Amino acid sequence: MALRRGSDTLSVMPTVSAQIALALAEHVEQVFGVMGNGNAYLLDAFERLPGVTVTTVRHEAGAVVAADAFHRASGGLAVATATYGAGFTNMLTPLAESVLGRVPMVVVVGDQPTVGPRPWDVDQVAIASAVGARTFTVGVDEAAAVTGDAIEWALTQRTPVVLAIPYDLAAREAGRSKPRAITKPSPVIPQPADIDELVELLALAQRPYLLSGRGAWLAGAGEALGEVADLTGAITGTTALGRGLFPRGEFDLGVTGGFGAEQAMAVVGQADVAVVFGAALNQFTTRFGDLFDPETVVVQVDVAETPTNPRVNRFLRGDAALVAVAVAEGLRTRGIPSTGWRESLEIAPLRRYEPGTGVAPDGRLDPRSVAERIAELLPDDRVVVTDGGHFLGWVNMFWPVAAPDRMMTIGTAYQSIGLGFSSVAGAASAKPESTIVLATGDGGGLMALADLETAVRVAGGSGIAVVWNDAAYSAEVTLYGRAKGLSLEPMLIPEVDFAALGEAVGAEGVVVRAVADLDRLATWSAEPAESRRFLVLDCRISGEIVAPYQQEIIRVNS
Ligand SMILES: Cc1ncc(C[n+]2csc(CCOP(=O)(O)OP(=O)(O)O)c2C)c(N)n1
């Protein structure tokens, strides 16, 4: 067993924990965790392995979030670890998110001893199952093999699994089991007749529109979809998680749905054929059913068994890249001329949003002006990680990114806030050369506060946190306070000094009360990353300017 560093622990005493670490090390370079009785030996084993970096976080929820962000930004298997009981249950909210987000992840935790539960043990297998995660429990003789099975399940099913280490086995000498070789799942091959039908439909289309989501990115379909757009003259667009997928940005309407620009969305309504690749067509993407004209033929291409939205007229099951390549080939073979639709419109002006006014009527900053100015100053290589809340509108409208692995909102699938600060460590570990830009509200920021320290430590001078500080749970004020007249009291937050909180853990904090205060971002950007500190921009914005997507939700709710 040559994989070791420092002491001889791994070679002299191949413990259950060491076997798990070794099996995982075949697939991962990054582990995120908080230590405790149940995973102390595991973390020790990881520390001794070359090629594996353990990033400690300050709250177990943060371990899952950081691992999730790491996967979304790098494509690599996510690994998070915590102790049994309280450590494990602290992980549940982001675990539910990662299940819904279909993130391949191994969550290694301690568990009750093999001889039975102690007073503080809970039924972890049942709890994990309740949020949709399967548990693999290691034994003495097959620790490595079970770890391999857990990894295989995570990778092939694209899902988090829990790998449980019974407390009394963690430091026991292990048998010499070996993980089985992992079979990669093969892509879903489309039916030739379905391809012919889609080619035929595109041949007849006059105003084709192509919409892509994260599924198309995961399939590696970007280039082939670009070809389909070139051949048909289709106008393109993406979901929030598919930003930057199409190679020709000049013909792209940008984000589709509630975050989309009004005039751009009106163009989608003019399409006669819309082909959707790797996007679930949720209520936000479809503007609660208003996105497509009733006459538009909507085709969904997906690996799901059935259409994911009743609006879909035709469904083509298949891997987005395979379908795109085959459709491009079909169009070329049949010599179908381009419609020229995309050249007939000037797209860039259609993507514009209503600009800010600098200061809002209540004297606080107009969030649109803050978003616009920050957008001017952000580097192109940015990775934007966001929490949830009203402010999501400004981020999605004003801060487009270069590729889908550069924008992530961990929490939206499970509709959770409070996962922002912990996302930074995962994204920074996956893309160390990039600037990581976190967007968080003051409500979600306070919820995630434990991992402000982690964000500052891990991203250092390559990280920025923009706090949309409106002294309120503004999404709730908008949807329930103003729209429904409910009591505002529980929706308000005393104005918190996030700049000072950042300084307390080693960041540079700037209170932004005027747009000109953002000039510090300009000078910060010009400094080398090694000589500057993590930057917290504590933006004192008004909650009175309501984002268009929130107005849409109010309209649908009433
Ligand atoms: C864990 C969790 N608790 C509560 C909520 C309900 N919720 C949704 S948005 C929101 C307000 C978020 O406030 P803030 O982070 O300040 O952002 P803002 O809406 O003000 O932009 C709340 C409380 C939730 N989604 N998740």
Distance, CA of 446 to CA of 450 (rounded, Å): 8
- Condensed to tens digits (0 to 9), the pLDDT of residues 366-401 reads 999 999 999 999 999 999 999 999 999 999 999 999
Distance, CA of 111 to CA of 122 (rounded, Å): 9
* Pocket flag, ligand 1, residue 389 (CB < 6 Å): yes
Mean pLDDT of 106-121: 98
Mutate to test the pocket of ligand 1, among 365, 370, 417 (most ligand atoms within 8 A of CB): 417
Nearest to 110 by CA among 48, 66, 168: 168
- Condensed to tens digits (0 to 9), the pLDDT of residues 464-475 reads 999 999 999 999
3-state SS record for 82-102: ECCCHHHHCCHHHHHHHHHCC
Ligand 1, residue 446: give the atom nearest the CA. 15
Residue 443 Cα to ligand 1 midpoint, Å, equals 6
Q: Would you place residue 6 in the very low, low, confident or very high pLDDT band (cuts 50, 70, 90)? A: very low
* Pocket flag, ligand 1, residue 474 (CB < 6 Å): yes
Pairing label, strands 105-111, 208-212: unpaired
Distance, CA of 75 to CA of 513 (rounded, Å): 38
Query: What whole-number percentage of the chain has pLDDT above 70?
Result: 98
Nearest to 218 by CA among 299, 285, 303, 300: 303
Residue 366 Cα to ligand 1 midpoint, Å, equals 20
Residue 330: pLDDT over 60:
yes
Tokens found for residue 201: 């439909």
- Condensed to tens digits (0 to 9), the pLDDT of residues 434-492 reads 999 999 999 999 999 999 999 999 999 999 999 999 999 999 999 999 999 999 999 99
Provide the terminal-to-terminal Cα distance of the chain, rounded to the nearest Å: 65
Residue 461 Cα to ligand 1 midpoint, Å, equals 28
Mutate to test the pocket of ligand 1, among 415, 468, 473 (most ligand atoms within 8 A of CB): 473
Distance, CA of 419 to CA of 409 (rounded, Å): 9
Tokens found for residue 77: 């298997």
Residue appearing with tokens 């709710």: 557
- Condensed to tens digits (0 to 9), the pLDDT of residues 180-238 reads 888 888 899 999 999 999 999 999 999 999 999 999 999 999 999 999 999 999 999 99
pLDDT of residue 518: 98
pLDDT of residue 13: 52
Distance, CA of 346 to CA of 352 (rounded, Å): 12
Distance, CA of 412 to CA of 281 (rounded, Å): 14
CB atoms within 10 A of CB 487: 8
pLDDT of residue 113: 98
Ligand 1, residue 474: give the atom nearest the CA. 20
pLDDT of residue 3: 45
pLDDT of residue 2: 39
Distance, CA of 552 to CA of 554 (rounded, Å): 5
* Pocket flag, ligand 1, residue 237 (CB < 6 Å): no
pLDDT of residue 9: 41
